[in-house]
Structure 1
Amino acid sequence: MKVLLLQDVYKLGHAGDIKKVADGYGRNYLIPQKFAVLATPSAIKQIDSIKKQADSIRSQLNTEMQSLSEKISNSWIAFPCKAGETGKLYGSITTQMIADAISAKIGATIDKRQIDAQPIRTLGEHKVSVRLTVDVIPSFTVITHREGEKPVVEETTEA
């Protein structure tokens, strides 16, 4: 099924793109959520206006999220955990826990679906990315350490 995207869809494309998708994905998700319409000749005539509108919205969002991105990329979060002798955690640090902690630290709401990471199950430093918009994806450090110990924060200097 060919669809014309009306909005940016993560891992699929930008607004105004014509994409070939599975029938069920288009019929059950993209079209009912108003993310896309069928790529008919009349819909294809509207590509230019859709792209212009989406570009202006995208640039406005990117400028708004830039200051938030700077706050996130300059931060780190430490989680005290119980762990075995090999450094494997008893349990895991989930994306919900990471989202709650970073939201409290920077003072803005971050949803767990914006966090690009698997659950953390080992001690140490882990790089985690936050998808604020399609183009703005800052990353920060999550440090897991044993309960009762101080977290070891390595200051990284980037060139």
Structure 2
Amino acid sequence: MTTEQPIDPLAFRSALGCFATGIAVITTIAPDGLPLGVTVNSFSSVSLDPPLVQFCLGRAAMSFEAFNVAPHFAVNILAADQEDLSNRFSRRDLQERWAGLETTTGRGGVRLLAGCLATLECDREHLLDGGDHVIVLGRVRKLTSREDGDPLLYFRGRYARLG
């Protein structure tokens, strides 16, 4: 008989860090009308038909409640030269993140970041329980992408580049 041992959280995080991921900034509008954005690396496609994507947001995130009620969000997939945006949208001050940024307005007033490899404008479909995170499922309603550029990647707790 084999007894399973509890998974050490630090070992779990280290093992997951072996999976290289892209980085995106998810943007939305708070109930008070202010723009919000958060850096994530837990983003993926779910379905082609219908076009669905998902991202995970920690329940402790300052923008957690806004993303739970916002009907729209955008996924801004960052290019290799946008490390500064990844860092900016990881800061604690939610409004400082927007200072001096070039943006356009998408569906539902959601701000879209300039220079990204791709931008997906989504309607929130479902929220699913994911332990200490919530899984936000969205239906893609509009998208743009560019043919050039490399992705901003994250691997073993730091930024990485192709090649």
Is TM-score (shorter-chain normalized) higher than 0.5?
Answer: no
Higher strand share: 2
TM-score range, shorter-chain basis? under 0.3
Normalised by the size of structure 1, how large is the TM-score? 0.26
Query: Greater CA radius of gyration, 1 or 2?
Result: 1
Higher helix share: 1
Q: Relative contact order: is structure 1 or structure 2 higher (C-alpha 8 Å, sep ≥ 6)?
A: 2
Normalised by the size of structure 2, how large is the TM-score? 0.26
